[in-house]
Structures are given as C-alpha cells and as structure tokens.
Amino acid sequence: MLRALIWDVDGTIAETERDGHRVAFNRAFEAHGLPWQWDVATYGELLRVAGGRERLLHDMAGRADAPSSDGARVDLARRLHETKNVLYAALVEANDVAWRPGVRRLMDACVDEGIVQAIATTTSRANVDALMRTAFGNAWPQRFAAIVCAEDAPAKKPDPLVYRIVLARLGLDASETIAIEDSPNGVPAACAAGITTLVTRSDYFREADFAGAAARCEDLESALTWSGGNAPRVDPATLRDVLRTSLEQMRRAPRHDP
C-alpha cells in the first residue's frame, strides 16, 4: 500500500528555478559588481548542470572576465552562491515565487489520508526552509517525516543517493512510496532507487521525455497520462482521488528497478 509521498522541491512545488533562483543569481552578480546576467533561455541550458555552485563554475569556465585560477573561481562561486541564497529567501518571503497548482491541496490530502510525506532535494536546506515557511510557518518541518537536502546528499541527482537516504530515514520499502519530480535528473534518481515516479512538468522541462516515469501531468490539477500501452488516462475530480487512483494504476505500471 502507499505509505509515503516524496516531494522534489525546485520546479515541482514551485517554479523556483525560473522565478526564484535565476532572478536571485542575477541580483547576486549585480551585488558583487559583475556584469553577468542569465536570461530565461540561458538558465534553462545551465540547469543541465546540477547544483548552484557547480552551475556557476560551469558558466565561469566559458567567460573571459572570470577569475583565471581554479581556486579564485571556487571562492567566487562560493561567495556568489551565499549571496544568492539570501536574495532567494527575500524573493520567496515577498511571495514573488508562486506555488504550482494543486501542490498545497495534495499535501493537505496526504495529511487527511494518513500518508506521510518527505522531501528529497539537492537544493540547500536554507532554500527549502525559505519556501516552506511561506505556506506552513516556522513549524513546517513537522509536516514531513524525512527532509533530505544538499547538505545530506553530496551526490546530486541523477544519482539516487538522496532518495535512498529518504527511504532509510522513513524505514520504508521503495514499493510503498511515490515520488513527484519535474526534471530529467530527478526522474532517473527516483527510478534508480526503485521508487514509482509521477512527473509534473515544470516550465523548463515541459518537452522532456522522462523515460521511466509511471505517469505524467502538466500540473497537479490536470489529468494524468499513464505510461504503458494500455494505461488509461485518469481525470480525477479531486486530488484525494489522485492518491487513491494513482496507487492502483502505478501498481500495474512496469517497475523500474535499480
């Protein structure tokens, strides 16, 4: 039976990449006196690199005006990332980063149904805290049985480490859980841990293939399209029905074991 729902954060709970992190990075560049700017398309390309500091280092590798030594680049990336996180928190607290449709309703439905929830993300705990406090206040961690962030899982998605840590902390088998993801890095991470995965398409990955996902939807208020030759389309009236129906259908979907 379904016992836990595991949430990715960036792009899944809110459009944080486009409207939050990208904007905060640009403001951090300005704060450090750098003439750099990442437009929407450029940041979409940079999302192929997992991790904010790693993204900065990748971008600097192609810039003539970046520091010439590896050590100086690493130091600049660290300082930019620290500034970015502060600016990101300010954007979230100002309600400039909206939650995606259906997310809050599904979280509340899990509480009503007695399904525990967890977070599996390779963004920092500070970023998760900023986002979740806008909806649930300072006591938000009490809503989640496990919270695993970048500090806990140094190997970033598509490595399955973050999901394996979540399963261990929950004390559950992968077959008792469903993960909700939005990115081509997140889906293989969950699948490699043996977890059935539902994709809710975010703006940056709307056209991605998502091989391995059991089901896909535009957002959590829309119809689900199930993988497999004879899999039905499900158009539930409420998200509570999604929980009941998704378990039954995902059980029938092909397993993607590690």
The reply to whether 134 and 236 lie within a common domain is yes
3-state SS string for 41-96: HHHHHHCCCCCHHHHHHHHHCCCCCCCCCHHHHHHHHHHHHHHHHHHHHHHHHCCC
Please write the tens of the pLDDT for every residue from 202-255: 999 988 989 889 888 898 888 777 775 333 333 334 444 555 555 455 445 544
Task: Choose one of 93, 114, 132: the last residue of a domain.
Answer: 93
pLDDT digits 0-9 by tens, 32-68 = 999 999 999 999 999 988 889 999 999 999 999 999 9
Among candidate residues 71, 93, 115, the one where a domain is terminated: 93
Do residues 10 and 105 share a domain? yes
In tens, the pLDDT along 65-99 reads: 999 999 999 999 999 999 999 999 999 999 889 99
pLDDT band of residue 151 (cuts 50, 70, 90) is very high
258 found inside a domain: no
CATH code for position 45? 1.10.150.240
| Residue 174: pLDDT band with limits 50, 70, 90 | very high
The proportion of the chain whose per-residue pLDDT surpasses 90, expressed as a percent, equals: 66
Tell me what the pLDDT averaged over the chain comes to: 87
* Residues catalogued as catalytic: 8, 10
pLDDT given for residue 250 in this prediction:
46
Note the pLDDT of residue 242. Answer: 55
Tell me the three state secondary structure of residue 196. Answer: strand
C-beta of residue 52 within 8 angstroms of C-beta of residue 78: no
* Domain encompassing residue 130: 4-15+98-252
